[in-house]
Structure 1
Amino acid sequence: MDLIDIFQRLGLAVAIGAAVGVERHWRERDEPEGARIAGIRTFTLIGMTGGLAGLLDGALMPGGFSGLVLASFLIMIALVMLRFGLMEARAEGSFSATTVIASIATFGLGALAVLGDMAVASAGGAFMVTVLASREFLHGAIRRLTWVELRSAVVLLAMSFVLLPLIPAAPYGPFGGVSPRSLMMLVIMLASISYVGYVVVRLIGGGQGDLIAGAVGGIVSSTATTLAMARQSRVGTGAASAAAGAVAAGGVSLVRTGVLLAGLAPAIAGVLLPGLLIGGGVMAAAALLFVRRGGLGSEVAAPANPFELSEVIKMALLITVIAFLARASAEIFGNGGLYVVSALSALADVDAATVTVTGMVPQLTSDVATRAIGIAVIANMCAKILYAAAAGSPAFSLRVAIASLAAMLAGVLVTFGAGLL
């Protein structure tokens, strides 16, 4: 590395140490001088020491002993911090090892900034400062954690990182088949949406929690979020707040589709984007209205279980079957059945139809492609009305239907004005 690169890397090591030191010093800012184990100066020097150790290791030990200097410095830093940590623990009667561990991690990140990937070192430093600064929040969350919540989190993690890698990804069956791994990913996504909604409801209250969880879920899949919110309306959360979440997801989905079109097919986006944005605005207004009518400050009882795995699997199977039927229809009808395929594929989610049709734009006229995507959007919104009626409470499904129909009407009127038909 050249001289400029060395200074940049060493500067990052110093900056990481300073950032950690600011947090540590601020937490003990009321302590008199000499009463804290390490503050901004000490951690800045630890970060710089990690960087210097990396430079010395590369310069002095280029052969088979590479890492010896780095390890020696690390052992010395650890012993010194451990010594002062024990002295502080005896004086204050505490048993926290956070500062000692943070100093070792700061040294390691300083060395990584010099010897390895600067982006990884920077991200690691930012994450460490965030964790250190979140002590009160994390301790409070652990105190409020129940066994049901912990069990659900463990099941979700096991599904994501233990079971998912073992499931084959190759599709099985005719018409392109069904991928078991894709099916499991859909199950995990549905369960995650339910769990996030549950946690948000616990943290910030029923109405607001469902609204935020629905908006976030709409970025991933508004159909899955609608199904999750529909089930939630039956098992605990009030119909108004659950409907607000589902409608918010639908509004985000419309805006997301417009952004996707703008990136993939600007010519089509010019016709459909105004209607999509108007429809998304109508659904956003309806979601806020539902939250207000449902009682913004009221506490709504959370469901007994963050997610019912059997129900999640049933939802995933339903969406998978619909997607399979859409692929079969595409192969049977060919290009002439584009509208039918768009409508059928949108029963699961509108993204598949959007990406497929925009990819066919060179072979399709602009009007045909625009109508196909418009049909997909309307079919998806109609499907979510049916899903809400089938899986949710009557009050929930009525609110979703009113908001969706109003958004469709507004969007179609604006699109007609843009000259779609």
Structure 2
Amino acid sequence: MVDPTTGPLVETVFHLLLAAGLGALIGLEREQSESGGSFAGSRTFPLIALYGALVQAFFPSVLPFAVGTLVVPLTVAYVGKIWYEGDIGLTTLVAALVTVVLGAMAMHSDRGAIIAIIVGGAVTVLLSVKDPVHEFANRIEESERRASAKFILVVLVVLPALPDRSLDVLYGLNPRFIWLMVVFVTGLGFVAYVLGQTLGPERGIALTGIVGGFVSSTATTVSMAEKTTQNATLYHVCAFAVVTASIVMFPRALIEIAVVNPDLLSNVALPLGAMTVVGAVAAGVLYWLTAADETVEPEELKNPFRLRPALIFGVIFAAVLLVSEYVNEWFGASGVYVTAFFSGLADVDAMTITLSRLAAEGAVSTEVATTGIVIAAIANTFVKAALAWVLGTHRLGRLVSIVLGVVVLSGLAFLVV
């Protein structure tokens, strides 16, 4: 006969082992990095995690008191660490307190255990990237830091205060949704910006194209075109950067669609995916044709967390959303396509999110939204080719136009299939 207590007992032991494992993971990182010193390491952190887990399992009502009690010996150990080692860093102390909470979360429930695993992994990664984080912080100028702080402050203050409903005074627009999309698009650019700053410019022109595609493909195209006027022999490597920045726009659009309207993703994935694959192959050929000694200084892109560009994008997005709704009512699909083309000349993100939103609401069909998004992407691709012609050398313009022309044709081919 099966003991009915066996199941809960096994589950409790499993969660205890999970808590101890998370503590060991963080403890090993602290000890290997020699950041914990004599304060805490590979043995102390598992014990701290088990402490939180056992209290949560058997005395959950006193968990806050238990955490507060642990603060006393941790503080004493921290003071001793300062006294003997002269290290006043708080990172290990805070990590120890977080580990207590992770242990309690691992014991709380299955959902808590999953979140504890995710957070524990994130904490370990954050602790292990000390040098890259400090190097990244040192690369950012004071003006950039202030701009980021202002932007984040505005996001935290403005976003919760905006009404989450359609307002007649704004012609039916939802101000919170608009601002949320501004934050989302800017956040995508900031992630790429952080990646570029963390890896450093020495990673080369490939990183410039990829990061530039997420932050500002137009700025990257302009920069590369101007570099060919300074040194005409660099047209191969500059063309590679322009093409790479241009095709990154397509997966970026797919990410936006996946967030705003996942049901639309399968329809748009085929044409945009084809353009991405064809463009990647072409970029690979350009990279192979690039001479080993052809180098170019990567473009120093600005921090996307700046208030003015974000507000400008918000205005553009609101205008595109409003115009698209009206032209769809007045002119049908043809009006949407014309709007998509002219909007895409300036910004693909605004049209991508707009049509994804309208398709989710049923205002436009899936076919119209898919075609409109591809048209906007193609229009923006034409802009990159035109910039290469006008601002760069004849060789750069011709090479970029041929490659991006093939990319556009592949998208059109899969769109009509």
Query: What TM-score, normalized to structure 2?
Result: 0.72
Residue 177 of structure 1, aligned match among 161, 172, 194: 172
RMSD: 4.4
Q: Pick closer, same or farther for the CA change 1:179–1:234 going to 2, 3 Å.
A: farther
> How far is 1:11 from its partner?
2.1
1:156 aligns with 2:151: yes
Could you tell me how far apart the structure 1 residues matched to 2:184 and 2:386 are?
20
> How far is 1:154 from its partner?
0.6
User: Which secondary structure does the structure 1 equivalent of 2:43 belong to?
Assistant: helix
> How far is 1:247 from its partner?
1.1
Could you tell me how far apart the structure 2 residues matched to 1:391 and 1:170 are?
40
Residue 380 of structure 1, aligned match among 371, 376, 383: 376
Q: Pick closer, same or farther for the CA change 1:290–1:156 going to 2, 3 Å.
A: farther
User: Which secondary structure does the structure 2 equivalent of 1:2 belong to?
Assistant: helix
Residue 320 (structure 1) aligns with = 318
> How far is 1:236 from its partner?
9.6
> How far is 1:179 from its partner?
2.7
After superposition, give the CA deviation of every residue in 1:232-274 in whole Å (9 maximum; x if it has no partner). 65589967477345412234258779999xx8489x95xx876
Q: Is the 8 A contact 1:171 1:179 kept in 2?
A: yes
> How far is 1:302 from its partner?
1.8
Which amino acid counterpart does residue 206 of structure 2 have in structure 1? Q
> How far is 1:157 from its partner?
0.8
- Give the unaligned 5+ runs of structure 2: 1-6, 228-237, 344-349
Residue 17 (structure 2) aligns with = 11
Q: How many residues align?
A: 380
Larger mean Cα displacement after TM superposition, 137-146 or 280-289 = 280-289
Q: Is the 8 A contact 2:208 2:298 kept in 1?
A: no
Residue 86 of structure 1, aligned match among 79, 84, 90: 79
Could you tell me how far apart the structure 2 residues matched to 1:81 and 1:257 are?
45
Residue 347 (structure 2) aligns with = none
Which amino acid counterpart does residue 276 of structure 2 have in structure 1? G
Residue 230 (structure 2) aligns with = none
Residue 111 of structure 1, aligned match among 104, 127, 135: 104
Could you tell me how far apart the structure 2 residues matched to 1:55 and 1:384 are?
57
Q: Is the 8 A contact 1:211 1:287 kept in 2?
A: no
Residue 46 (structure 1) aligns with = 48
> How far is 1:357 from its partner?
6.2
> How far is 1:328 from its partner?
0.5
After superposition, give the CA deviation of every residue in 1:375-403 in whole Å (9 maximum; x if it has no partner). 42542134314665899973499577554
Q: Is the 8 A contact 2:155 2:183 kept in 1?
A: yes
Could you tell me how far apart the structure 2 residues matched to 1:274 and 1:191 are?
26
Which amino acid counterpart does residue 205 of structure 2 have in structure 1? G
Q: Pick closer, same or farther for the CA change 1:96–1:412 going to 2, 3 Å.
A: closer
Q: Is the 8 A contact 1:152 1:306 kept in 2?
A: no
Could you tell me how far apart the structure 2 residues matched to 1:167 and 1:265 are?
27
Residue 332 (structure 1) aligns with = 330
Query: What TM-score, normalized to structure 1?
Result: 0.71
Q: Pick closer, same or farther for the CA change 1:149–1:52 going to 2, 3 Å.
A: same
Residue 139 (structure 2) aligns with = 144
Residue 56 (structure 1) aligns with = 58
Q: Is the 8 A contact 1:201 1:302 kept in 2?
A: no
Q: How does 1:260-409 map to 2 (within 5 A)?
A: 264=263, 276-287=272-283, 298-303=296-301, 309-333=307-331, 337-342=332-337, 344-345=339-340, 347=343, 348-350=350-352, 353=355, 372=368, 375-385=371-381, 388=384, 394-395=391-392, 402-409=402-409
Could you tell me how far apart the structure 2 residues matched to 1:15 and 1:402 are?
55
Residue 207 (structure 1) aligns with = 205
Q: Is the 8 A contact 1:164 1:185 kept in 2?
A: yes
Q: Is the 8 A contact 1:214 1:244 kept in 2?
A: no
1:229 aligns with 2:217: yes
Q: Pick closer, same or farther for the CA change 1:255–1:404 going to 2, 3 Å.
A: farther
Identity of aligned residues (%): 20
Which amino acid counterpart does residue 5 of structure 1 have in structure 2? E
Which amino acid counterpart does residue 26 of structure 2 have in structure 1? V
After superposition, give the CA deviation of every residue in 1:300-357 in whole Å (9 maximum; x if it has no partner). 3525665664344334423432332221122224xxx334435535744346546766
Residue 61 (structure 1) aligns with = none
After superposition, give the CA deviation of every residue in 1:157-201 in whole Å (9 maximum; x if it has no partner). 123211222223333459963333333334434544554454444
- Give the unaligned 5+ runs of structure 1: 59-65, 218-224
User: Which secondary structure does the structure 2 equivalent of 1:37 belong to?
Assistant: coil
Could you tell me how far apart the structure 2 residues matched to 1:354 and 1:138 are?
36
